[in-house]
Amino acid sequence: MYAASWEKDRKAWDFLGSGSASGIYKSTDGGSSWERISNEGSGFPTGLDVGRIGLTVFNENTIYAVHDNQDRRDKSEENEKESDVLTKDDFKTFSDNVNGRVYKSFSEDEQQQMGSAPAVAKTPEALYQGACMACHATGVANAPKFGDKTAWEPKAALGINTLLQTAITGKGAMPPKGGSAYSEEELRSVIEYMLSEAGLAVAN
């Protein structure tokens, strides 16, 4: 009898899908005891980059394993770019006619103008869905549950400035800014949104 283990760590803001505890095990007593067979020297990858493993037994001497290898190898310079694949830098530098195809080339000034176009502001609801919903929708890790007035009342009593500072620095299981890249203004708006949806007035 064979089985595979998978070491993983999932959080609202991160996911680690590999570890040294991932491996292949064998039991010869119907599952009462197990021996790890994917050790150093076994020919199977070991270490921190071993992810999920799928197993199928072909016969008593052959097992097939599909391995989600999380080891990232650096590309060699000669394989870094295929000649027939266009990259974003190609679009900045190539001529207007490439292999019979007509393209529009942009000057550096035009590129800067396009890059400096103002970003479209997100609504408080969209901000909530982007970074806060993962925990607040269900109350994970003692996060005040969305729309739960009782859970939010003690938080509201602290005032928006205190809540904003907590959101910026992080607290408990919540990382700084909830793991987002939101600005202070965006954080303030999403806090006010969650308080409002709980039926509470925003206090300064």
Average per-residue pLDDT for the chain: 82
Which residue spans of the chain are classified as CATH 1.10.760.10?
Answer: 124-197
pLDDT tens-place string over residues 7-66: 888 888 888 888 888 999 999 998 899 999 898 888 888 888 898 999 998 887 888 999
Q: pTM for this structure?
A: 0.44
CA atoms within 13 A on the CB side of 70: 18
Distance CA 142, CA 144 (A): 6
Q: Topology of domain 124-197, per CATH?
A: Cytochrome Bc1 Complex; Chain D, domain 2 (1.10.760)
Strands 101-102 and 97-98 turn out to be antiparallel
Distance CA 40, CA 37 (A): 9
Least confident range of 3-7, 36-40, 110-114? 110-114
Among 180, 157, 159, 156, CA closest to 168: 180
